[in-house]
């Protein structure tokens, strides 16, 4: 990675910062930045007698004036971040948003999709750009990889949010215990923290911590809610749990599902903590939020077809729980070259909720699609009355599911959300679940 940034270091002017040793060696106006990820380059850089800037020194050279709001958790990061961004904008604040969907500032898209949390140099560059646009807040998703790799090193967060902790990325973190430890490590300091108090795996520094919950009583709680035709809830905010005084308001949202009620509560609690605006003002601004592409996105109302990014058994369960009153048909697969342990769990989850199950390819990458499907099938009983269809061709699987869809069923197409490609082998080919649905409906 190389970014353009003129700085003076050790009485020398550099025009670029890089975390790549080759660039630092070949381009004398590039200054090497030492991060956790490139430590193995340091000896080479020293052998060439080149300057080294430590990652923790980066704040000296960038404008980091926006208040940073970081969101981590297994599920819900993207939607929670988008809700906070939307509410703050509607309340008149200047805001930037960085995450899975790209980089935005004040309702303008500045960069397309990338990593959930970019590398440290790109991240600093993005915050610097947001500062130049006079953004008061910078809302960002923080992945477990980013926490472990210290991609946010040197940054001081104004607020941190925990959505939930289930199981993901065990191909990288190796054990669930390590994954949980990494997530919780983000909340060990005394920064303002907004914690899901219904999450039993949450461990955090209690200093400056606020909670939100549906089942538990905490700072932001629900007294009643309905998940029929959107989300409707009565909520109460208590700044101090020992005091009798509280604020109350109504949530009226077009989003679906209990998991999105959690996302909404996380966002409201965060905005309340950082702005001190009234709860009623915040919930009124929430009404303008229509959802995130690829997250519980309704592609067709009749028949009801929804596309979502859910790619873990817990994420799938949250979607299924939103439609317990309907018969469920589901199309899904699992990513290749990723955590294999979650595949049978995804199969089991689908079996527990759906009547018609279409197992197909997601992004198989270098793996055999049939082998991935075989892993998913391990979670489904061999003898079952369920309709189980195996079709590695994702387009054909979607067509089959739509053709067999009854008026009283909902079709859930899971795993890719708003992705517009499939990774097959080393090739990245155009593929959009939503377009497949729309084209089929036009023809039929």
65 DSSP 8-state letter: -
% the chain with pLDDT above 90 = 86
Two tokens at 235?
A: 């909520």
| Continuous H helices in 174-312 | 176-185, 258-275, 279-286
In this predicted structure, what is the pLDDT of residue 95?
A: 98
Spatial distance between the Cα atoms of 444 and 441, rounded to a whole number of angstroms: 5
Report pLDDT digits (tens) over 68-94. Answer: 999 999 889 999 999 999 999 999 999
- Domain-wise residue ranges, the chain: 2-60, 63-286, 297-443
Reading phi first (left if > 0) and then psi (alpha if -120 to 50, else beta), residue 92 is in left
Please say whether the beta carbons of 321 and 354 come within 8 A.
Answer: no
Spatial distance between the Cα atoms of 310 and 185, rounded to a whole number of angstroms: 25
38 DSSP 8-state letter: G
Mean pLDDT (the chain, rounded): 94
Residue 169 in this model has a pLDDT that exceeds 80 = no
Spatial distance between the Cα atoms of 330 and 433, rounded to a whole number of angstroms: 13
Please say whether the beta carbons of 424 and 333 come within 8 A.
Answer: no
297-443 has CATH 3.90.190.20 classification = yes
Task: Find the helix packing angle between 258-275 and 77-90, rounded to 10°.
Answer: 50
Measured between alpha carbons, how far is residue 343 from residues 5, 76, 371 in Å? 44, 20, 11
Spatial distance between the Cα atoms of 35 and 371, rounded to a whole number of angstroms: 37
Render the burial of 96-126: b for 16+ CB within 10 Å, e for the rest.
Answer: bbbbbbebbbbeeebeeebebbbbbbbbbbb
**In angstroms, how far is CA 216 from the centroid of its own chain?**
24
% the chain with pLDDT above 70 = 98
Residue 172 in this model has a pLDDT that exceeds 80 = no
Report pLDDT digits (tens) over 344-355. Answer: 999 999 999 999
Spatial distance between the Cα atoms of 400 and 410, rounded to a whole number of angstroms: 14
Which residues are registered as beta bridge partners of 411?
305, 329
Residue 363 contacts by C-beta under 8 Å, 6 or more apart in sequence?
Answer: 335, 336, 416, 422, 423, 424
Options 3.30.2290.10, 3.30.413.10, 3.40.1190.10, 1.10.3720.10; CATH for 63-286 is 3.40.1190.10
| pTM of structure | 0.86
Q: Residue 22: exposed, middle, or buried by beta-carbon count in 10 A (0-12, 13-18, 19+)? A: exposed
In this predicted structure, what is the pLDDT of residue 117?
A: 87
Two tokens at 263?
A: 């996302």
Spatial distance between the Cα atoms of 252 and 287, rounded to a whole number of angstroms: 6
Specify which of 83-92, 142-151, 254-263, 292-301 reaches the highest per-range mean pLDDT: 83-92
200 DSSP 8-state letter: T
Pairing relation of β-strands 102-105 and 108-111? antiparallel
CA angle (256, 259, 264) in 5-degree steps: 80
Q: How many CB atoms lie within 10 A of CB 327?
A: 13
Two tokens at 274?
A: 């950082």
In this predicted structure, what is the pLDDT of residue 147?
A: 93
């Amino acid at each position: 990675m190389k970014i353009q940034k003129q700085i003076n270091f050790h009485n020398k002017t550099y025009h670029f910062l890089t975390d790549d040793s080759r660039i630092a060696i070949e381009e004398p106006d590039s200054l090497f930045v030492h991060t956790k990820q490139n430590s193995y380059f340091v000896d080479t850089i020293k052998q060439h007698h080149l300057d080294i800037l430590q990652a923790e020194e980066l704040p000296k050279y960038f404008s980091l004036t926006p208040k940073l709001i970081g969101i981590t958790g297994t599920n819900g990061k993207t939607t929670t971040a988008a809700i906070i961004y939307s509410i703050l904008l509607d309340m008149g604040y200047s805001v930037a948003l960085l995450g899975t969907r790209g980089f935005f500032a004040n309702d303008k898209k500045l960069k397309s999709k990338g990593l959930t949390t970019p590398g440290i140099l790109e991240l600093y560059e993005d915050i610097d750009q947001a500062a130049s646009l006079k953004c008061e807040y910078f809302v960002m998703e923080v992945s477990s990889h980013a926490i472990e790799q210290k991609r946010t090193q040197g940054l001081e967060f104004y607020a941190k949010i925990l959505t939930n902790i289930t199981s993901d990325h065990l191909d990288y973190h190796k054990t669930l215990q390590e994954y949980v430890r990494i997530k919780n490590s983000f909340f060990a300091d005394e920064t303002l923290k907004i914690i899901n108090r219904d999450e039993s795996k949450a461990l955090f520094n209690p200093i400056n911590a606020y909670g939100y919950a549906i089942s538990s009583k905490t700072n932001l709680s629900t007294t009643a809610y309905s998940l029929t035709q959107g989300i409707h809830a009565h909520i109460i905010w208590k700044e101090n749990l020992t005091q009798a005084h509280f604020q109350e308001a109504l949530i009226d949202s077009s989003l679906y599902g209990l998991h999105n009620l959690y996302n909404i509560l996380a966002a409201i609690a965060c905005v309340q903590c950082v702005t001190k605006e009234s709860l009623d003002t915040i919930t009124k601004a929430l009404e303008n939020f229509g959802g995130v592409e690829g997250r519980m996105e309704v592609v067709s109302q009749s028949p009801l077809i929804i596309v979502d990014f859910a790619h873990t058994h817990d994420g799938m369960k949250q979607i299924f729980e939103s439609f317990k009153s309907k018969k469920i048909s589901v199309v899904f697969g699992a990513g290749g070259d990723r955590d294999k342990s979650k595949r049978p769990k995804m199969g089991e989850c689908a079996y527990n909720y759906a009547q018609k199950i279409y197992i197909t390819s997601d992004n198989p990458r270098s793996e055999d699609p049939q082998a991935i499907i075989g892993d998913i099938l391990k979670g489904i009983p061999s003898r079952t009355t369920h309709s189980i269809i195996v079709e590695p061709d994702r387009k054909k699987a979607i067509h089959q599911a739509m053709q067999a869809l009854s008026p009283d069923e909902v079709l859930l197409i899971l795993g890719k959300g708003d992705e517009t490609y499939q990774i097959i082998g080393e090739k990245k080919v155009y593929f959009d679940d939503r377009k497949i649905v729309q084209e089929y409906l036009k023809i039929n």
